[in-house]
Amino acid sequence: MPASSIRRSFMRAVAAQNAGIDVVRLDIGDLEFDLPEPFARGTIDALRAGKTHYSSMSGVPELRQAIAERLSTRYGIACSAEQVIVNQGATQGLNAAFTLCADQGDQVFLPEIYWPNYLQQTVLSRLNPIFYALDDGFCPSLPQLRKQLVQAVETGHVAAILLNSPGNPTGALFARPVVEGIYDAAYTAGCWVISDEAYCDYVYQGEHFPPLLLDWQKPESERRVLSVFSASKSYAATGLRLGWTLAPSAEIAHRLQLLNEPLTGSMTTPLQFGLAAAIAQDDPALRCADLARRCSLAAELLPSTGLEFNRPAGGLFFLLDISTTGLEADEFATRLLDEEAVAVVTGTGFALQPGAEPGTFAPTERSTRLIRVSFAVAEDRLREGISRLGSFVRKLQDAQQLRGEQLLTAEAGHPCAAH
């Protein structure tokens, strides 16, 4: 099982903090918001009312109903509570989705830069990941993806294509024609689309076009999209471990429920009542507006570091290109923490691919030039972190320049230099 670089950075940053160092935490995708009040109140009320027993494996009916209503209003679809399954976070929802779609040895398409747990889940289910290329803006190139799909279909069974828009760590939002192209290609190939909607409520620029909108135009029996959502992100509840999946039909939802049973049994009952209250009474748009401000602030400050980046259209992260510093991402992230007390995540953890030997994994070359910076932190910490990052980059560039000058001087003094 390849270890997640996010957890590795997390542990190193915590160790530094425990040693008394004032670390600016730009590594984590944890929202700096209080739990929405209706979530807390709904949970406490449920506890007091004795709703502390096992609940249905697919989720308490009140929550499934609240989710179905929200999805129906938001996307203009007529989904029922029976098509919704509650999960232990999007993490478990995604795992169930992979398990539902694919048998051991099947191929699944993942973006070449991706949230590390996808790879771990393919390892767990013994699936073969195929990585589709992302362009300079971190969006799929349709002709290339279609070509890869045709090749893969010739060599084995392709079970699913995973989309994550807006993406972690890329912040990229896939444009409607791209989503349409991928959906059509998947439909023609007869494979599933797993849509990770963890960041669907945090879009700052452009239109969020989820593939479920295409799928729900088809008759139920032909639908191919499993959409997985996260209460961690939408309701600032990372520690409460709830998410949900919208299945194309009640029958598929039932199969997803069966996949919950061996792993989680039922979800925590009182928290599900809290989430139902939050969905009915709280609006993630408030958090989105706040995050949009932090994203703009980061986009204003980051050019001072001299590092290149694409401004994210959604999600919580910037991917910065560190190639001008002369360091590779792993060393950059380690030294940045040691020398300036800023925690970021190395790009290499988001782009591991299976190596030639079974059980080995190696990062792509592109990812060695990238680091991930979260803007989901308080504005003063964001300012401080970016300022320290800028100092670090300047220090590296000065050292590089000095080395260059020393080399020139040495060459000039070398006896061969005259020739």
Ligand X SMILES: Cc1ncc(COP(=O)(O)O)c(C=O)c1O
The contact set with ligand X (CB under 6 A) reads 29, 89-91, 115, 164, 168, 196, 198, 230, 232, 238, 243
CB closer to ligand X out of 196 and 328: 196
CB closer to ligand X out of 84 and 90: 90
Q: State in angstroms the smallest separation of the CB of 145 from ligand X.
A: 19
Q: State in angstroms the smallest separation of the CB of 307 from ligand X.
A: 22
CB closer to ligand X out of 99 and 232: 232
Q: State in angstroms the smallest separation of the CB of 349 from ligand X.
A: 12
How is residue 308 written in tokens? 């290149």
Q: State in angstroms the smallest separation of the CB of 243 from ligand X.
A: 4
**205 and 46 Cβ atoms separated by less than 8 Å:** no
Say which residues have a Cβ less than 8 Å from residue 357's Cβ, sequence separation at least 6: none
Interatomic CA distance for residues 119 and 182, integer angstroms: 20
How is residue 416 written in tokens? 């061969």
Task: Using alpha carbons only, give the angle 352, 357, 361 rounded to the nearest 5 degrees.
Answer: 10
How is residue 322 written in tokens? 């560190």
Q: State in angstroms the smallest separation of the CB of 98 from ligand X.
A: 12
Q: State in angstroms the smallest separation of the CB of 372 from ligand X.
A: 11
Interatomic CA distance for residues 355 and 146, integer angstroms: 24
Interatomic CA distance for residues 395 and 340, integer angstroms: 11
CB closer to ligand X out of 166 and 270: 166
Task: Give which of 6, 134, 104, 92 is closest to 268, Cα–Cα.
Answer: 92
DSSP 418: G
Task: Give which of 309, 317, 25, 29 is closest to 169, Cα–Cα.
Answer: 317
CB closer to ligand X out of 189 and 278: 278
Name the closest residue to ligand X (Cβ): 89
CB closer to ligand X out of 162 and 382: 162
How many CA atoms within 13 Å lie on the side-chain side of 262?
7
What order do you get walking across the sheet with 308-309 strand by strand?
308-309, 317-321, 370-374, 345-346
CB closer to ligand X out of 115 and 132: 115
Q: State in angstroms the smallest separation of the CB of 185 from ligand X.
A: 22
How is residue 401 written in tokens? 């320049």
CB closer to ligand X out of 192 and 392: 192
CB closer to ligand X out of 178 and 341: 178
DSSP 87: E
Q: State in angstroms the smallest separation of the CB of 196 from ligand X.
A: 5
How is residue 159 written in tokens? 């079970």
CB closer to ligand X out of 122 and 232: 232
Q: State in angstroms the smallest separation of the CB of 115 from ligand X.
A: 4
Q: State in angstroms the smallest separation of the CB of 364 from ligand X.
A: 18
Amino acid at 192: W
Interatomic CA distance for residues 173 and 205, integer angstroms: 9
Task: Using alpha carbons only, give the angle 264, 270, 274 rounded to the nearest 5 degrees.
Answer: 110
Interatomic CA distance for residues 192 and 226, integer angstroms: 8
**83 and 247 Cβ atoms separated by less than 8 Å:** yes
